[in-house]
Structure 1
Amino acid sequence: MGVGVDMKEAEKVSYKIVAEPPSHIKLGPHEQFIFIKHKQFHKAEGVAGILSHPKSMQYAQLSDRLKNEDQLGLPQHRLVLLVHGHQAHKNSNYQPILASKLAGEGFYVLRIDFRGLGDSEDCKDVSLGRTIEQDTEDIESVCELISCERLRDELFELPVTLDTIVGHSRGVMAMFEFCRRYPNRFVPNLVNCSGRYDGRGIVQKRLKYTPNWRKDGGFYCDLPRHGGVVKTWIPKSETMSGVECPTHLFGQINQQSSIMSCYGTCEEVIPLTAVASFANLFQGRHYLEMIRGATHNFYGLPNDPNALKLPLRNGLVNYCYVVADKIAEYLSWEKQLQRFYAKTQYIKGTPINPAEIVTRWPLPHAYSKVSNFRDLGGYQTVYQGRRIKTGCFYRCANVCDITPDALKYLQHKLDVVTVFDLRAPDEAKENGLLDNNKLVKSLPFNNNMNTSPEVLAEHYQGLLISSYSFPKAYMIVLKNSIDSIKTFFQFLLEPQGAVAFHCTAGKDRTGILSMLLLSILGVDDDTIAREYELTTLGLKTETKLIKKLEARGDLYYSMLGPNSEALVKEYHLTPDKMAKTLLSSRYEAMRFFIDDFRAEYESADSFFMHELQFSTHAIGRLRDLYLEE
């Protein structure tokens, strides 16, 4: 079978990479043919799949990846799972095209065969056939693999998060039913391609093509198996599992999940009333794309004029390329950022009043003249799902220009008793200070910027070359800020009211402190990185800082240190490009920093105990103080 991983008793799943796939499996240079086996669900090899790695991983060094960033997206901590429909398999329709497209943009993509199809093992019970419940078990097997850190990191090389499931036709039912059956498996993005809503249509279809299927207890159809086509008996129970699937309950899935639906205007299998049904079911979080001229499987009709000049497949216009483009756009970092902002801009329920709704952004710039001011509360944690309390911590950019009314609101309505300034004193004087000695506490990070020229140059290289090199700079800041970090968290142990903290933009030093705060309170890495990325939106009002950074011009070259000329040539750096990088706050910058943090300190708890000298009792007190009951 090729490279295998032995299953430990404590692990429910195992995987195998097939070193020499069968001849019908055609792999790209960045793909692997694998089997995933769940101890509880599978009795043979498990489910077969093709794993596409980010294409930029063909370059071993980060420097080489950065040089080719414009052509190939840098690796992301995000996995997209593709699941097929009836009489289909992992390479049906748009799946290989979409996998290649997303891998080129930095995603990991796994497309699997459900049991009983393609190269996966047979159905658990052939007398029942491929039921929706069985399909959800196959999806759960993938999730269980991702949740097993050892296996996940071996297979994917990065601690990936299941970011998206894309389902087609019957696979859409399996996708939504999985999310309903396994509520703890949160998936941010769900893509419905040609999904059926009303299962009664399945009965009508069967009666049309096989009128005696009920009486006979099933029907025969051709299914793709191991590179060929096999005439297979489909038991009545398999059909009825789709008919009886409780689609009306899909609205129960996690409210933080966003749903995209994609249908062809020439859909001939699913009634297009499904579009309205899903839109109503997922009101407020549903996005629709109609592919003009496309059928159920996203091909054109025989007389299609092919106005888009798309490639043909079997003589038909291949709209699968359009589908891939639409889904890739939906999953772009800009679109995901906007959706996360929309879903989190209000926090529903507070410890005082569960029916209360508070804004995450209580000091809008137009009113306060403070950018990037937001509440870090409301996020769910790993501790019995308890959320971080609202109104305890606020992060922001420099507050020196705060209006008198906003300052009063900050102190008397938000109950902020201390504003921690993470800037070095000289930097604070140069960029503006809040004239309120009782409220502001200086807490300089990065050892007051009192570091050697070599370390300082390394720090700026990390911030100026690419957002993917931020972790290098962030680790320098973190290690040079231990005393200040310890002071901050000791203050939190004796709460007197809410606190705010900021640096210049509220991005880097503030982002590091936010990561530590959210991590020790139990927020997952994906949410921490998405929260960090909100600064992209929060800084749009920081015109004074933006102009100042843009005006530095050639000064950026000297900040790179003695090797600036070589670095500028290697990474095609310009002052404008470096200024934009310095202001960026991409999701992946934080995820890679968290990776480096874990490699260095193992965990947030370990960092607090060994670096900050906090006892387990003190860590527990932080959680008791700042997590909702």
Structure 2
Amino acid sequence: MVDTVPDMPTLDIADAEGLEQVADGRIMLEGLPNTRDIGGIEGAHGRFVKHARLLRSGALAGATERDLEVLADDYDLRTVVDLRTEDERREKPDPEDALVDVRFDHVPVLNTETLGITHGGGLRDALKILRQVQDDPAKIMMEIYPRILLDEASQRGFATFFEDVLATEEGSVLWHCTIGKDRAGLATVLLLQVLGASPKAIMKDYQATNRYVASRTQEIMDALASYHLAGKLDDSIQVINSADPRFLGAALDAVDREFGSLDAYVEKALGVTADKRAALQARYLTDDPSA
């Protein structure tokens, strides 16, 4: 999955002081740079997504003990939906043993073989990915995004994601891929659509990832530079590690052509019926934007 370049170091970007959230819902953790609470976003009928119920993230392998305590205690974490492939999970497994009261569901969305992109560990495999996309990385990503939504395996994965969200009656559910940009980003787009968020609010949340992967992107470029492999690859790294509106736009345009609308897609392809939509809105929306 072109969600990030594999096997590169994760930065600890929060200090030990604050766990406070900023306006876009970021949860300040020590080892997880892109974990966010989507609470507070306006949804259907002028209501708002409840806080501390719906969390999007990158992989949890970098979480510190303190991070896991925050998720378990402050956010009452009950369910984790892992959208990564089996290879990705094997390489950097989630800390399931440390979250014994949390249900983990492995729900792969698409895979690198389907995309024709190899995925392994280490710098050599990272370079393979970069060289495959470096001629026109934006074009490649604009081809990949529609396939994430239209692939039958992906649709089964996203359908299971919705079942997991609906099944989490109390506490919070967290979903993630590798850095929380593409697969987790699209899952969030779909959920916010079902909850009645506006296109503007959905795009704002999607692009917020860019604030939190910039440091990781720089780390990757620095690693390549240390091997004298940077230069023209820098632009490719910047593009594939970005949450670019063109990528999301390409996916939504493809869905419109295939299904007529995103609402029709979530109903026909993912099985989110009117009753399930109403149940999700009843559970996760509130009249109080601070609740």
Provide TM-score, normalisation by structure 1.
0.36
- Whether 2:64 is the aligned partner of 1:403: answer yes
SS in 2 for 1:501: strand
Residues 195 and 280 in structure 2, CA contact (< 8 A), matched pair in contact too: yes
Take 2:187 and 2:135, find their aligned partners in 1: how far apart are those partners?
A: 21
Q: Which residue of 1 aligns with 2:81?
A: 420
Take 1:586 and 1:503, find their aligned partners in 2: how far apart are those partners?
A: 17
- Whether 2:158 is the aligned partner of 1:485: answer yes
SS in 2 for 1:405: helix
Residues 503 and 509 in structure 1, CA contact (< 8 A), matched pair in contact too: yes
Q: Which residue of 2 aligns with 1:109?
A: none
Take 1:413 and 1:463, find their aligned partners in 2: how far apart are those partners?
A: 42
Which runs of structure 2 are paired with 1:449-468 in the superposition (5 Å)?
Answer: 449-451=112-114, 453=116, 465-467=136-138
- State the AA in 2 paired with 1:345: V
Residues 190 and 266 in structure 2, CA contact (< 8 A), matched pair in contact too: no
SS in 1 for 2:247: helix
Q: Which residue of 2 aligns with 1:265?
A: none
TM-aligned CA deviation for residue 451 of structure 1: 2.2
- State the AA in 2 paired with 1:470: M
SS in 1 for 2:59: coil
Q: Which residue of 2 aligns with 1:475?
A: 146
- State the AA in 2 paired with 1:483: R
CA deviations over 1:607-629 (Å, ceiling 9, x no partner): 12211223221121111111114
TM-aligned CA deviation for residue 378 of structure 1: 0.9
Take 2:139 and 2:75, find their aligned partners in 1: how far apart are those partners?
A: 35
Greater Rg, structure 1 or structure 2? 1
Take 2:118 and 2:136, find their aligned partners in 1: how far apart are those partners?
A: 15
- Pair 1:621–1:600, CA change in 2 (3 A): same
CA deviations over 1:103-125 (Å, ceiling 9, x no partner): xxxxxxxxxxxxxxxxxxxxxxx
Take 2:115 and 2:274, find their aligned partners in 1: how far apart are those partners?
A: 35
Q: Which residue of 2 aligns with 1:436?
A: 96
- State the AA in 2 paired with 1:388: V
- Pair 1:424–1:455, CA change in 2 (3 A): closer
- State the AA in 2 paired with 1:506: G
Take 2:176 and 2:75, find their aligned partners in 1: how far apart are those partners?
A: 16
Q: Which residue of 2 aligns with 1:345?
A: 22
State how many pairs are aligned: 251
Alignment gaps of 5+ in structure 1:
1-343, 347-358, 557-572
Residues 146 and 250 in structure 2, CA contact (< 8 A), matched pair in contact too: no
- State the AA in 1 paired with 2:247: A
Residues 112 and 118 in structure 2, CA contact (< 8 A), matched pair in contact too: no
- Pair 1:507–1:408, CA change in 2 (3 A): same
TM-aligned CA deviation for residue 404 of structure 1: 0.6
Q: Which residue of 1 aligns with 2:285?
A: 627
Higher relative contact order (CA 8 A, sep 6+): 2
Which runs of structure 2 are paired with 1:316-355 in the superposition (5 Å)?
Answer: 345-346=22-23
Which runs of structure 2 are paired with 1:168-183 in the superposition (5 Å)?
Answer: none
- Pair 1:626–1:427, CA change in 2 (3 A): same
CA deviations over 1:313-344 (Å, ceiling 9, x no partner): xxxxxxxxxxxxxxxxxxxxxxxxxxxxxxx9
- Pair 1:464–1:596, CA change in 2 (3 A): farther
Residues 149 and 155 in structure 2, CA contact (< 8 A), matched pair in contact too: yes
Take 1:435 and 1:598, find their aligned partners in 2: how far apart are those partners?
A: 38
- State the AA in 2 paired with 1:434: D
Take 2:177 and 2:249, find their aligned partners in 1: how far apart are those partners?
A: 21
- Pair 1:477–1:589, CA change in 2 (3 A): closer
Which runs of structure 2 are paired with 1:495-534 in the superposition (5 Å)?
Answer: 495=168, 496-534=170-208
Take 2:216 and 2:133, find their aligned partners in 1: how far apart are those partners?
A: 22
- Pair 1:464–1:619, CA change in 2 (3 A): farther
Q: Which has the higher strand share?
A: 1
TM-aligned CA deviation for residue 434 of structure 1: 2.4
CA deviations over 1:525-552 (Å, ceiling 9, x no partner): 2221121111111113436973598479
- Pair 1:461–1:486, CA change in 2 (3 A): farther
Q: Which residue of 2 aligns with 1:374?
A: 36
- Pair 1:468–1:490, CA change in 2 (3 A): same
Take 1:478 and 1:552, find their aligned partners in 2: how far apart are those partners?
A: 37
- Pair 1:514–1:587, CA change in 2 (3 A): same
Instruction: Calculate the aligned-residue CA RMSD, in Å.
Output: 3.4
Take 1:391 and 1:477, find their aligned partners in 2: how far apart are those partners?
A: 27
TM-aligned CA deviation for residue 514 of structure 1: 1.0
Residues 143 and 250 in structure 2, CA contact (< 8 A), matched pair in contact too: no
- Whether 2:242 is the aligned partner of 1:581: answer no
Runs ≥4 residues deviating over 6 A? 454-458, 460-464, 551-556
Which runs of structure 2 are paired with 1:100-499 in the superposition (5 Å)?
Answer: 345-346=22-23, 360-362=25-27, 364-365=28-29, 368-381=30-43, 383-430=44-91, 432-437=92-97, 438=100, 439=102, 440-446=104-110, 448-451=111-114, 453=116, 465-467=136-138, 470-480=141-151, 481-495=154-168, 496-499=170-173
Residues 469 and 589 in structure 1, CA contact (< 8 A), matched pair in contact too: no
